[in-house]
Amino acid sequence: MDEILAPRPFVPARDFALSKRFYQALGFAPTHEDETIAILKLGSFSFILQNFYVKELADNTMVQLLVREVDAWWRRIDAAKLVAEFAVKPPRPPAMQDWGMKVGFVFDPSGVLWHVAEVPF
């Protein structure tokens, strides 16, 4: 049987260069780049940033990033000074959610919402 290794979402970018810099500020490194996409990777997770933007799509795109320690991620997010550097909506610090996960919320420059969620043990 074929084993699925991981899903890899496509994320839209209104300003492709700005979005690449945003994700690099969070620690993602490009493993491939051309004029249409950039594959960005951190640890075992990667996603495909698209040089493509439709406001309605971006405003409804959400990605959940499961991490072991969301507070450590929050320190990384806070240190990146995302609002000052990238004029994004302010990130929302991690808090326990009704569904039982501790989650912080980060908006990228295109409006994509990332749920940085701690894996419950």
- pLDDT by residue (tens digit) across 95-109? 999 999 999 999 999
What mean pLDDT value characterizes the chain?
A: 95
- Quote the tokens at residue 78: 């806070």
| Digit-coded pLDDT (tens) for 4-23 | 888 999 999 999 999 999 99
Which of 14, 9, 13 is CA-nearest to residue 62?
9
pTM above 0.85, yes or no: yes
Average pLDDT over residues 41-59: 96
- Tell me the domains of the chain and their CATH numbers: 10-118 (3.10.180.10)
Average pLDDT over residues 22-34: 97
Q: Would you place residue 1 in the very low, low, confident or very high pLDDT band (cuts 50, 70, 90)?
A: low
Q: What is the pLDDT of residue 109?
A: 98
